[in-house]
Each structure stands twice: as structure tokens, then as C-alpha cells.
Amino acid sequence: MQSEQTDILGIILDSIIDGVFTVDTDFRITSINRAAENIIGIKKDDAIGKHCYEIFHANICSYSCALKETIETGKPLINKTIYILKETGEKIPISINTAILKDIKGNIIGGVETFRDITEITSLRKTIESGFTFEDIVSKNSRMREIFKILPDIAESDSSVIIEGGSGTGKELVAHAIHNLSRRNGRKLIPVNCAAIPDNLIESELFGYKSGAFTDAKKDKPGRIEQAEGGTLFLDEIGELSINVQAKLLRFIQDKTYEPLGGIRPVKADVRIVAATNRNLEDEIKNGNFRKDLFYRLNVMKISLPSLSERKEDIPLLIKHFISMYNILKSKNITGMTDEAIDILINHDFPGNIRELENVIEHAFILCKEHYIHKKHLPHYLIKADFAAVSETTIKNMEKELILNVLTKHKWNRKETASTLGIDKSTLWRKMKQYSIREPE
């Protein structure tokens, strides 16, 4: 009778299109159906009695066996995607489900796993998702897709370009895409963060200097323009340049010549300018902080990048992109993120844009020891329910007001102001630049 039941069960299992196999508590295969034989390319007689990891060679076998996890926790796994390696060396994506096997007395006697070959689904998904990636920029947002369409033409034109967008929106990625798609891609793209270099150094950084130009100039030093010869100069946060440096940059863009500090004759250079800013340069022109003629020289082509809050449909796509990237960088095998965690990120405003999202994923990778990133792995500020949120804007306004008050009190003496605030003069200088604080004339 028991033999007949076993035969009937075998017939039923062989009629199922999903692969099915069972293991005992030592994880040796006790049964396997015909679909499983076909998917993994092995005969039943060669599989029975072998450890499951000897047969399937799955990517999780070495560190996180799905059946072992189910038997130890009592929790089944549902629709988990893993990869198995056939004897031919072919890598096959499968979707698995696991459950515990018990005898009539309720004792655990092993586990059962069902799986399905999802090669075609995976291939289709990759085809679809490949359409959302352009030169390392990931998006399915309509505004971003329009930018994707025109970038090759912009790159080919060799004209100056200005990229507008908030911090962390991907301005440098767009600059790299323009360079990589242009005829200059065999030469260097040289980036300059104009906000990170003090006014008294930016000119020598851009144009270089000759020996003897000033006290410490012991030998010639090439500037960033010379380093970018034949390639592209990327001027990030160009709105931070002083009017004096803007004038010299304008001359270079117009004439393709410049004079190093201490030089006596102009130097020609073949360099394309791509600039970026998180400011509204037209407003800066009205306020007298940016030259109108330089703006029009740069503004041959303008690309305006939306903030992440304006392209929230990209958040799941970017999460997957960063998980894939950090799996490589951190030598991990995190499969994805739970719906609960994704919902938290979608509902966040992301003032730091894509850079902030990337930092969130990197933070989660440090804490996550599981297959999926959960809510508990996200940064504290995203998940603490009783967090009394003080907006970033409010904090900045308070800091700006404090600096202004102390500067006024000390009649704009920066040394005394920095001392009162307990910060370095260089920190005070950066803060004044950040908040556009200028001494009244």
C-alpha cells in the first residue's frame, strides 16, 4: 500500500512543470522529479543520496543554503531568485520556494524545494532595463529620457555646455557622458570643483604658473586647462568663481588662449568646456555675481536635471542599480530590498538627491547580513518614528543668521568672527561662500 502511494506521488511530481526535490536532515537528496532533472541536466540516479550543493552548485550554497535557513527558522522562502550551475558550466537563473518536511508525529525529517527556470523572464527584464541606462545614468523618467535622446548630438557638437541641477542630481555623470560620446573621448576629462578651491588659488589651478611668478613658485606648474589639452574641462559649481577669474575664463573660451601666472605670452589650447551649477545663473547675473557675457558663452547648450523628488519612479531602479554595484564592491550577494524599505525611500524627499540614495544603500550594505535589505538596515533618520524632524533648510537658515550676526558684531573681522564661533578662518570662509554672505559695500 505504501509502495503504491509512493508510486502515485512520483507520478504526480513528474507531471509538475516545476522542479521539485526533497532532502533529509543531512541535506542529502531523497527524491527529485523529472522537471528538476531536465532543468539542471542530471539523472535522478546520479542525484539521489548526494548533498544538494553537490548537484546544484547554486550561488548561495557556500554561505546561505535556502533549505538550511528554512529548516532552522521554520520559515519558508517564497519566489527567491538564485543561480545554479549546470555540469556544462551554464549559469541558470531559477526562482525557488522552500518548506519543511515533517513526519506524522510532527518531527522534522528534511525539507522540500520547488524551483522554476526563469531564464527567459530574466533575459526579457534585462532587455527592458537596458533601455533605462545611458552611459551609467539610470532613469525611466520622461524628462531624463529626453536628455538621453539629445546627449549624443550635444556631445558631437563640441560646443560649450552648462548643466543645471541640485547637488547630487548626477551633473558629473552627464559631463562624463558628453565627453565619452564626443570625438575627445580618447583624451582626458579634467574635473575642477570651483567651490572647493579658495579664490586666491583657483586662477593658478586653472591656468597654471611660471617659475618665479610668486615666492613659492620654484618651477613651472601646468594648470587644469593644459592637463585637459585635446579633451574636456569640467567646471563644477562654476557659479562660485570670482568675477576676476570669470573674466579670464571668458577670454579663454573666446580666443582659446590663456596666460599662466607670470607668463609673458598667451598659450593656445584645444579644450572643450562643460560647466555645471546648482545655482540659477540668471539670478546671479541680476545680483552682479556672474558675468552675462560668460553666461552666454557657456549657455550654448543647457541641460537641466530634475531632482530625485521629481523622478521618484526611478527610485526602485536606482536601488537595484546601487545594490548590483555594491555587491561587486563589497563582495556580497544581496538580492534586493523589501517592499517596506522601498516604500520608506519612495516617501522620503531626498534633499541630497541620488548621492543621498547611494549613501543610504551603502549604509544598508554595512549592516545587512541577509539576502534582502530591510527597514532595520536603513539609516536611523529614515526609520525613527519619533524623530523630531528639523528641516535641512531650517538648520541652514539658523546657521546663516548666526554667522551674519557675529560678523556684524565684529564689524566683518573674519579672524575675530571665526574665534567667537569656535571654527577655523577657512571654515568660516567656506560657510560664507556657501550662504552667499558678502560684506556690505
69 and 177 belong to one structural domain:
no
42 phi and psi, to 5 degrees?
Answer: -145, 150
Report the distance separating Cα 189 and Cα 224, nearest Å: 10
pLDDT in tens, 332-373: 888 889 888 998 999 899 999 999 999 999 999 999 988 889
Structural domain boundaries, residue 55: 2-118
The number of domains in the chain is 4
CA 278 to CA 185: how far, in whole Å? 26
User: How many Cβ atoms from other residues are within 10 Å of residue 38's Cβ?
Assistant: 12
Express each pLDDT in 98-130 by its tens digit: 999 998 888 999 999 999 888 776 666 665 555
Instruction: For residue 343, give the CATH number of its domain.
Output: 1.10.8.60
The answer to whether the pTM exceeds 0.85 is no
Q: What is the CATH number of the domain that holds 69?
A: 3.30.450.20
Residue 123 lies in a domain: no
Among 356, 383, 410, the domain-final residue is 383
* CATH code of the domain in which 402 resides: 1.10.10
- The yes-or-no verdict on residue 252 having pLDDT over 80 is yes
Last residue of a domain, one of 282, 304, 326: 304
Q: What is the CATH number of the domain that holds 206?
A: 3.40.50.300
> What pLDDT, on the 0 to 100 scale, is given for residue 387?
40
Residue (of 35, 93, 89, 26) closest to 53 by Cα position: 26
Q: Is residue 162 part of a domain?
A: yes
Q: State pLDDT tens for residues 8-57.
A: 666 777 778 889 999 999 999 999 999 888 888 888 888 899 988 888 87
Q: Do 332 and 365 meet the contact criterion of CB atoms below 8 Å apart?
A: yes
Residue 441 included in any domain = no
Could you give the CA distance from residue 54 to residue 12 in angstroms, rounded to a whole number?
26
